Amino acid sequence: IIHRDIKPENIMIRKDGYAKVLDFGLAKLSEPPASAGGTAANEDATRMQVNTTPGMVMGTVSYMSPEQARGNPTDARTDIWSLGVVLYEMCAGKVPFTGETVNHTIVSILEKEPLLLENVPDELQRIVRKSMTKDVEMRYQSARDMLIDLKNLRRTLDIQGELERSVVPNREAATGSVREGETQMHGGGLIEATRSGQVASTQSITTSSSSLEYAVTQAKSHKLASAIVGIVLLGIIGTVGYFAFVSKGGSQQINSIAVLPFENRSGNADSDYLSDGLADSLIYRLSQLPNLKVSPASSVMRYKGKEFDAQKIATELGVQAIMSGRMTQRGDNLNISVELIDAANNKILWGEQYERKMSDLLATQREIATAITEKLQLKLSGTETAGITKKYTNSNEAYQLYLKGRYQWNKRTVEGLKAAEGFYKEAIEKDPSFALAYSGLAETYGLFSNYSVASPRDSQPQVKAAALRALELDGTLAEPHAALGLYHTAYTWDLEASIRELYRATELNPKYATAYHWLGNTLPSLGKCDEAIAAAKHAEELDPLSAIINADTALDLIQCRRFDEALVQTQKALKLDPNFYYTHFLAGWAHQNKGNYKEALTSFRRSMALNVDPYAKALFILTLAKAGERVEAMKLRGELRADSKRRYIGGYILAIADVAVGEFDTALAEIEKDLVERGGYTPIIAIDPALDDLRGDPRFTALVKKVEASKLEKILTVPDFYETMP
């Protein structure tokens, strides 16, 4: 039964404290009555189902839900909204939505958010606000769900009340002149006059009863209004004075958080995309908030499957709170449990369990993000609230495919990138307006040539197409701009356009570490080394535990010929991930440029043992040749050339190996070929230390000029990152 007119006048309290709902004049049945076709049952159903022509507004305006105010179809969630309004009024003494006229009140319901309740437990605040969420999908989906939260709150308040009474057993009631039977608010608690003329506050009541039992007992001797207020303030709030005391004397405002990868308890690795994706999506949503520092996914992934120590992790990540979660998938059923922990004292600030269908995944994710912001007491603007609860797609299938694509993309392997492309395309087929899927596709194509999946000519134009489509659908996304920045660096060689796109990405999301990371990679080719290192260091600050970001700062330093600093940086990066092949070969390259060939070869051999990367192999060949190991250098060069027949390897990489063994003509021909292929590394040949042996050759000088002439636009200015960087 959908009541459609829940309000205080229609809720009565019996003498024994039992609540009764009255007046079903506007009620309707949500489904036909289960009867054997009896006439009486059908007549009852007819009487209960009041005519509800679409567009007709029915109910008491102050307690109407948004859908009810619009005259739209209603269901059980409409009654949940109205009950939330009643709860709000019981706590605040006034309704949350008002206006001079009925129309003004309806506008308030549709467009405004209620003021926060004062002097109530955070959990009650959350329950009331959740019941009055304008998006019906974010509201409590059933009264049972709301009841569970209220019972949990009552249990918590009872425990807190017992704790307070046991810790401070000898509190004396304050005296005053309040008349018997009167109730007043005082500070953080409720003050009530006793028959002896004394005044007892909720902070000093000593009773063996639970807070709710005490409220009901007191309510029996008072008028109806006092009974209602007493039950909600003494019963549901109960120990509000204790909560106020704890909140004032507790830890400082939390403004930084790390969301760890969710533990997959499904017993099936195929569900990892869900557990990782839930955390990744929450990170993405929370990162939209300017006043909340959120550790990026690349930093928290290193804790996946590791022993959980909130304080240790918080120290390493530089955050105050840790959110951990567990997920179990059984067919279409999804069980998610989350905990938010204050790392300073290892105290659980909030915990919740969600039993949902897979079809509710999108709504559940938004629900969790909203609960976190409420628990952290973040004051959000309308725009920030919209960002947290934003619906990027209405298709749950498309969203799951997107999560699968993200999971594969994060692997950074040839197979993973190919799989990511497939999943993103499937997501777009399910929802052609899914901007994030297009953005993910652009990021995937952007890495194809780097990982030898496809040539720049085959992959880079698709970066542009996917990124522009993403921005056409959602101009607030930062990632497509970053993808376009990489596109201009690697394909059009219009570095000014690249800087412009990357800079725009940082404006849209100042906490987007990857944009600063790629700025650091691009600026050295413009001779802007100080700005490049500043951008790279800022990326490290935003994502301190990212192995690739820390390693690429060393690459930027090498390109800027600051080899001593580069070596220090590689040691820092190796502490984060001793098994990252990329950092080892950068250490080898820095050593080689300093003439430390023994140390360089040791680093390169470690890198090759971890992963045979064509770029690393070419630099290894160069180091072998400089160290006098020409035979091995020639052998490996032959292997590299043979490999280039099987998959895409850029001419720049092959040219490094050619230079190593003195094949300068072949090296120049490979670079010339890269001009045609639009090779991604071509813009750096003017500054790259690996090609220093070619610098005296006029043909190389001509090639550098040819690259400059091949850019789509002449470089004019570059933003001064000393002034613009946050």
Does residue 591 have a pLDDT over 80? Answer: yes
Spatial separation of the C-alpha atoms in residues 377 and 365, rounded to whole Å: 19
Averaged pLDDT for residues 20-44: 58
For tokens 């899927």, the residue is 437
- Using the predicted structure, report yes or no on whether residue 501 has a pLDDT greater than 90: yes
Count of CB atoms situated within 10 Å of the CB of 724: 11
Identify each DSSP E strand in 363-480 by its residue range: none
| Mean predicted lDDT score pLDDT of the chain | 80
Model pLDDT, residue 115: 86
Residue 3: what pLDDT?
85
282-320 burial code (b ≥16 CB/10 A, e <16): bbbbbbbbeebbbbbbbbbbbbeeeeeebeebbebbebb
**Under DSSP, is residue 294 helix (H, G, I), strand (E, B) or coil?**
strand
Pairing mode of beta strands 263-264, 199-201: unpaired
Residue 190 pLDDT greater than 50, yes or no: no
Check residue 2 and give its pLDDT: 85
| DSSP 8-class letter at 664 | H
- Residues whose CB falls within 8 Å of the CB of residue 166, separated by 6 or more in sequence, listed in order: none
More confident residue, 288 or 609: 609
Coil, helix or strand for 257? strand
pLDDT at position 161 is: 66
Q: Which two tokens stand for residue 272?
A: 């990892």
Radius of gyration for the chain, computed over Cα atoms and rounded to the nearest angstrom: 32
3 state SS of 121: coil
pLDDT of residue 422: 96
Look at residue 384 and tell me whether its pLDDT is greater than 80. no
Domains of the chain with CATH codes: 8-114+125-134 (1.10.510.10), 148-249 (no CATH), 256-391 (3.40.50.10610)
Helix (H, G, I), strand (E, B) or coil at 253: coil
Residues 542, 548, 552, 555, Cα dihedral to 10°? 160
Q: Which of 11-20, 133-142, 534-543, 658-667 has the lowest mean pLDDT?
A: 11-20
- Cα(536)–Cα(516) distance, integer angstroms: 6
Q: Please compute the mean of the pLDDT values over residues 23-47 and round it to a whole number.
A: 52
CA torsion angle 331 333 336 337 (round to 10):
-110
> pTM for this one?
0.61
Cβ(536)–Cβ(516) below 8 Å: yes
User: Other CB atoms closer than 10 Å to residue 484's CB: what's the count?
Assistant: 27
Q: Which two tokens stand for residue 486?
A: 């990489």
| pLDDT score of 592 more than 90 | yes
What per-residue confidence (pLDDT) applies to 285? 86
Q: Do residues 516 and 542 lie in contact, with contact meaning Cβ atoms separated by under 8 Å?
A: yes
Q: Which amino acid is at 416?
A: G
For 325-383, what is each residue's pLDDT tens digit? 898 888 888 888 888 899 888 888 888 888 888 888 888 888 888 888 877 777 667 77
Highest mean pLDDT among 171-175, 407-411, 615-619: 615-619
Token pair for 144 = 């049972």
pLDDT for residue 195: 35
Report CA-CA distances (Å) from 229 to 212, 218, 446, 553. Answer: 12, 11, 61, 61
Least confident of 163-167, 344-348, 459-463: 163-167
- The DSSP secondary-structure symbol of 442 reads H
Q: What is the mean pLDDT of residues 36-40?
A: 42
Measured between alpha carbons, how far is 382 from 362 in angstroms, rounded to an integer?
21
- Of 261, 278, 280, residue with least CA distance to 354: 278
Q: pLDDT band at 482, cuts 50/70/90?
A: very high
Stated length of the chain = 726
Distance of CA 42 to CAs 7, 28, 29, 33, 34, Å? 28, 13, 12, 8, 10
Q: Residue 184 above 50 pLDDT? A: no
Count other C-beta atoms under 10 Å from residue 496's C-beta: 17
Query: 191: helix, coil or strand?
Result: strand
Q: How high is the pLDDT of residue 58? A: 56
Task: Check whether 125 has a pLDDT greater than 70.
Answer: yes
> How many helices (DSSP H) and strands (DSSP E) are in the chain?
32, 11
- pLDDT on residue 529: 95
Question: How far is the C-alpha of 348 from the C-alpha of 359, rounded, in Å?
Answer: 29
pLDDT at residue 31 above 70? Answer: no
Does position 598 have pLDDT exceeding 90, yes or no? yes
Q: What gap in Å lies between CA 573 and CA 548, rounded to an integer? A: 8
CA distance 424 to 444: 9
Does residue 157 carry a pLDDT above 50?
yes
Cα–Cα separations (whole angstroms), residue 386 to 250, 478, 612: 30, 16, 46
| Section 407-419 average pLDDT | 89
pLDDT more than 70, % of the chain: 80
N-to-C CA span, the chain: 55
Please, what's the b/e burial string for 355-369 (b: 16 or more CB within 10 A of its CB; e: otherwise)? Answer: ebeeebbbbbbbbbb
Provide the Cα torsion 721, 724, 725, 726; round to 10°.
170
Contact (CB, 8 A) for 127 and 153: yes
Long-range contacts of 363-368 (CB under 8 A, 24+ apart): 363/137, 363/138, 364/334, 364/336, 365/278, 365/281, 365/282, 365/285, 366/137, 366/138, 366/285, 366/390, 366/391, 367/130, 367/138, 368/282, 368/336, 368/338
- Residues 558-590: tens digit of each pLDDT: 999 999 999 999 999 999 999 999 999 999 999
Write the DSSP assignment of 501-534 as a string of letters: HHHHHHHH-TT-HHHHHHHHHHGGGGT-HHHHHH
Contact assessment for residue 423 and residue 401, using Cβ atoms and an 8 Å cutoff: yes
pLDDT of 48-85, one tens digit each? 333 444 444 456 788 989 988 888 888 889 999 999 99
φ, ψ of residue 159 in degrees (nearest 5): -65, -45
Give 252's pLDDT tier (boundaries 50, 70, 90): low
Q: Among residues 495, 493, 520, 494, which one has the least CA distance to residue 506?
A: 520
Rounded alpha-carbon distances, angstroms, from residue 492 to 150, 456, 463, 484: 59, 10, 12, 10
- Show the 3-state SS of 313-371: HHHHHCCCEEEEEEEEEECCEEEEEEEEEECCCCEEEEEEEEEEEHHHHHHHHHHHHHH
Closest residue by Cα to residue 577 from 544, 615, 617: 544
Encode pLDDT of 42-55 as tens digits: 433 333 333 444 44
What is the spatial distance between Cα 393 and Cα 401, in angstroms, rounded to a whole number?
A: 12
Instruction: Give the pLDDT score at 47.
Output: 33
- Among the residue ranges 155-164, 190-199, 354-363, 575-584, the one predicted with the least confidence is 190-199
Q: Using one digit for the tens of pLDDT, what is the confidence trace for 643-662?
A: 999 988 989 999 999 999 99
Residues 58/50, Cβ–Cβ less than 8 Å: yes
Percentage of the chain lying above the pLDDT 90 cut:
39
